[in-house]
Chain A
Amino acid sequence: AQKITQTQPGMFVQEKEAVTLDCTYDTSDQSYGLFWYKQPSSGEMIFLIYQGSYDEQNATEGRYSLNFQKARKSANLVISASQLGDSAMYFCAMREASGTYKYIFGTGTRLKVLA
């Protein structure tokens, strides 16, 4: 069965520093997508970054990058130059590449950026 594991329930980072949020996944599928979403206190889920299982390059979107290590089945999110507005809940998710394309989510990591 597919599963996403986020082992860090909470993280602190100093403003302007980089932080890595861990995510490991388990699947027997060869084709899948990995996503990170941010959920600020307002509640909405904001898409951050996507990595396809066949993508050889790590995905990057501005200050976000995804450290994809396929053999280790990990898809860690790296946030560079943290800002106070980065304080939020972060969810890692995996999506099937066929069928319903439904997401499997982890339990999330709450990030607090300190001034």
Chain B
Amino acid sequence: EAGVTQFPSHSVIEKGQTVTLRCDPISGHDNLYWYRRVMGKEIKFLLHFVKESKQDESGMPNNRFLAERTGGTYSTLKVQPAELEDSGVYFCASSQVGASYEAFFGQGTRLTVV
């Protein structure tokens, strides 16, 4: 069974540009999460989808970030325009619905804004 996959693995962009990160969850997982880790700090929650619906986007830093989940399958996270403080590793995770199910994480996308 394929795990959670994220594209690209690395991205280096200039301040002001746009970047789109993609996440393909494990098939059948209705829960999809985005997290971000800024260098040396904790991994922070960004938002949560159940199927195609946003359940919680309280962690989204500002309106430069836009997440979508088309048809309840893959998800994209767009940053437009990117700022220097957006640099970090963006993780996607998916899980089945239920409190005892662990989330499976992708390898992350390392975003560097220069």
Q: Which A residues contact B (CB, under 8 angstroms)? A: 4, 31, 33, 35, 37, 42-47, 50, 52, 91, 93, 95-108
Contact = CB atoms under 8 A, between A and B. Distances in A.
A42 B10 CA distance: 12
Given A44-B105, A100-B48, A108 B42 contact: yes
Interface residues of B, number: 29
Contacts of B88: none
Interface stretch (B18-26, B68-76, B78-86, B94-102): B94-102
Interface of B: 9, 31, 33, 35, 40-45, 48, 55-56, 59, 89, 91, 93, 95, 98-100, 102-108, 110
A33 B99 contact: yes
A101 B102 contact: no
A92 B105 CA distance: 14
B102 A35 contact: yes
B42 A44 contact: no
Nearest to A96: B99
A45 B33 contact: no
B42 A103 contact: no
A97 B102 contact: no
15 contacts: A4-B42, A31-B99, A35-B102, A43-B108, A44-B107, A50-B100, A97-B99, A100-B55, A102-B33, A103-B45, A105-B35, A105-B42, A107-B40, A107-B41, A107-B42
